[in-house]
Amino acid sequence: MMSYLASKVTSATSSSNGGVEETHDDDFIEAVVCQESEIGENQMKQVELGEGKVLLVRQNGKLSAIGNKCSHYGAMLVTGALGEGRVRCPWHGACFNVETGDIEDFPGMDSLPCYRVTVGEAGEVKVRAKRTELATNKRARVMAKRASQDERTYIVIGGGPSGATCAETLRQEGFTGRVVMINKEPCLPYDRVKVSKTMDMNLEKCLLRTQQFYDDNDIEVMLGTAVTKMDGTTRELTLDNGYKIRYDKAYIATGSNPRRPPIEGADLGNVCVLRTAADAKQVNEQLAPEKRVVILGTSFIGLEAAAYCVNKVANVKVIGRGAVPLKESFGDAVGKRVMELFEEKGVEFVMNSGIRRCIGTDGMVKKVELTDGTLLDADICIFGIGSTLYTEFLQGSGIGLNRNGSINTDQYLETNLEGVYVGGDIANAPVHSNDGQQATIGHYPLAQYHGRLAALNMIGKATPLKAVPFFWTVLFGKSFRYCGYGQPDEVIVEGDLAALKFVAFYIGKGGRVIGMSSCQRDPVIAQFAEYSSQGKVLHKEDLTPNPFGWIPA
């Protein structure tokens, strides 16, 4: 466990909280926070330390102390799930080592501070913390610097969260060669989940890291630059600016491009997609009280866009090809309740339909024609019908491409080309919680995890995939979470679906619970994610009589 040494001799002073003594100096604070008897084995306890808070954890008879809030969006970790040597955030599933504070699963970029813990003869637990870390509740890991004698070049193709995490992890784990991150977008990596949720996002505030961070840690960033060709034999990349660069190892996380249907008028000026910050800005700048918005697709992107727009425009109509939105992700019953929620908020649905063409005037859409011939007024049309994988530039590279553009990997994310790794949307990788079944999963936290794992394997620290798919969305202030993977044969809903306070269990072959979703029932999904990550399997019969009997007391 990390400990700190005081920069000068300190003096003990009496505090005003019942006579507890605190030891202060300019940089540190140390105080008794509780009695050892107040925290049992495999328990967590949040305690106050000066003006801050600390998370105490006891496992294997040992007490440790780390930051109390998730470094992603600030959830209180004491309400999360305690696993084997780590705690998982109840909101979005990020995991932190309980002894070091290091982030081990995502989302998020920063680790947590860890503090020195001592136990006195009378059982008093004392914690010593650095004041700045107590205030920020974040810790950036120490980075290696580039060494002039190290001639290796590791290239990261893709500047999303996966690529950013890979580049950063290489330096964190001691790589001293050249690190280059190539990003086709003209901006640094940012929190992409905000694109459809908060289209008025301030890009600068959403950056994962600043340019100064990359400069300080010798990570070269090429912005607004795309790789047009990869030669797996010569290990050379050709860029769209004509520049060629040779690599020793490469990580490819180029993600996907939003899909536009092959229909008339799809290229009109106010027909939009949502993938990048620029896309979000384009939509947001067009919103006005008199505007009529038509959204094609009942994916998470489409519904998040509808939820954002509905109070800013005259009306929002969502066109879906099925009968129920989100049925493939959440099941029929939950999908219907989500649809009711949207209708309660004023969103209109036209289901079992599609758009035949967009009709424009002076280059701007004015109406859309549905597949049954119905005409709808439309001042803005948004396509939210999925994406295509961005891997065309890899044709002829020697990397095996599947028909959908995905790339098969082993459990270390390495492709059929030695030294070339892929992750994020484009990786057809083993799913740890589903007996290693290969799958292509476009989840933000999993993409970040892939970036970290690939970096470890690139530098020779063999680490197999063990993450469990975890995603979330926020719709009209309600947070929906899901963990798992696969198409269920049965869905069991426990709780009050009408009140949106429920847990849904997804039952697959052999009665196995392959996934769970929830709303207003934290931290159940985080607990299931931790349960699954440990290789444990839950079956339908385990849900009776107590559907939550598998959760540690």
Tell me, yes or no, whether 1 lies in a domain: no
CATH number of the domain that residue 514 is part of: 3.30.390.30
Q: Please tell me the predicted confidence (pLDDT) of residue 357.
A: 98
Lowest mean pLDDT among 13-22, 26-35, 112-121, 351-360: 13-22
pLDDT category at 499 given cuts 50, 70, 90 is very high
Which tokens sit at 337?
Answer: 């309740």
Please indicate, yes or no, whether residues 244 and 295 belong to a single structural domain of this protein.
no
Question: Peptide bond preceding 161: is omega within 30 degrees of 0, i.e. cis?
Answer: no
The answer on pLDDT for 23 being more than 60 is no
Minimal CA–CA distance to 1: which of 96, 70, 65, 77? 65
Would strands 153-157 and 249-252 be described as parallel, antiparallel, or unpaired?
Answer: parallel
- The domain boundary residue, chosen from 328, 363, 385: 385
Percent of the chain with pLDDT over 70: 95
Q: Is residue 293 situated within a structural domain?
A: yes
- CA 277 – CA 344 distance, rounded (Å): 29
Boundaries of domain holding 198: 153-257+389-459
What is the full DSSP assignment across 446-485?
HHHHHHHHHHHHHTT---------EEEEEETTEEEEEEE-
327-331 average pLDDT score:
93
pLDDT tens for each residue of 115-147: 999 999 999 999 999 999 999 999 989 999 999
Inside any domain, residue 14? no
What are the pLDDT digits (tens) for 423-479?
999 999 999 888 889 999 999 999 999 999 999 999 999 999 998 999 999 999 999
- The number of folded domains in the chain is 4
Q: Give yes or no: residues 412 and 486 share one domain.
A: no
| Domain match, 352 and 283 both | yes
C-alpha count within 13 angstroms, C-beta hemisphere, residue 201: 24
- 539 shares a domain with 499: yes
- pLDDT single digits (tens) 146-188: 999 999 999 999 999 999 999 999 999 999 999 999 999 999 9
How many residues in total does the chain contain? 553
Query: Residue 302's pLDDT band (boundaries 50, 70, 90)?
Result: very high
Crossing angle of helices 161-172 and 444-458, rounded to 10°:
30
Indicate the pLDDT class of residue 19, thresholds 50, 70 and 90.
very low
Residue 6 has pLDDT above 50, yes or no: no
CATH classification at residue 212: 3.50.50.60
Residue pair 502/521 in contact (Cβ under 8 Å)? The answer is: yes
What pLDDT score was predicted for residue 13? Answer: 31
Specify whether 157 is located in the same domain as 108: no
Query: How confident is the model at residue 26, as a pLDDT?
Result: 76
In a shared domain, residues 357 and 397 = no
User: What is the pLDDT averaged over residues 492-501?
Assistant: 98
Averaged pLDDT for residues 234-249: 97
* Residue 4, domain member (yes or no): no
What CATH code is carried by the domain that includes residue 87?
Answer: 2.102.10.10
**Residue 109 to residue 346: CA distance in whole angstroms:** 37
pLDDT at 25: 66
C-beta separation of 378 from 368 below 8 A:
yes
Closest CA to 502 of 345, 340, 338, 346: 338
Q: Are residues 184 and 276 in the same domain?
A: no
Q: What angle do CA 162, 163, 164 make, to 5 degrees?
A: 95
Q: What is the mean pLDDT of the chain?
A: 94
For residue 266, is it within any domain?
no
CB 156 within 8 A of CB 73: no
If asked whether residues 43 and 88 sit together in one domain, one would say yes
Same domain, 289 and 243: no
pLDDT at residue 12 tops 70: no
The first and second tokens of residue 162, run together, are: 């996966």
Chain centroid offset of residue 263 CA: 33
pLDDT recorded at residue 467: 86
Give the E-state strand segments of 399-447 in sequence order: 407-408, 420-422, 427-431, 437-440
Return d(Cα 47, Cα 51) in angstroms, integer: 11
Res. 9: pLDDT tops 80 = no
* Residue 23: inside a domain: no
Q: Which of 459, 492, 510 marks a domain boundary?
A: 459
The structure tokens listed for 294 are 């038509």
Residues 326 and 236 in one domain: no
Q: How far apart are CA 8 and CA 225, in angstroms?
A: 50
What are the pLDDT digits (tens) for 385-403? 999 999 999 999 999 999 9
pLDDT at residue 32 tops 50: yes
pLDDT, residue 454, reads: 98
Q: Are residues 293 and 363 in the same domain?
A: yes
Considering the domain boundaries, does residue 470 fall inside one? no
- End-of-domain residue from the set 410, 431, 459: 459
Instruction: Specify the pLDDT at position 24.
Output: 53
Q: Which residue carries 């493939």 as its tokens?
A: 328
Together in a domain, 453 and 361: no
What is the percent of the chain where pLDDT is above 90? 93
Q: Does residue 366 sit within a domain?
A: yes
Per-residue pLDDT at 21 exceeds 60: no
Look up residue 374 and give its amino acid: T
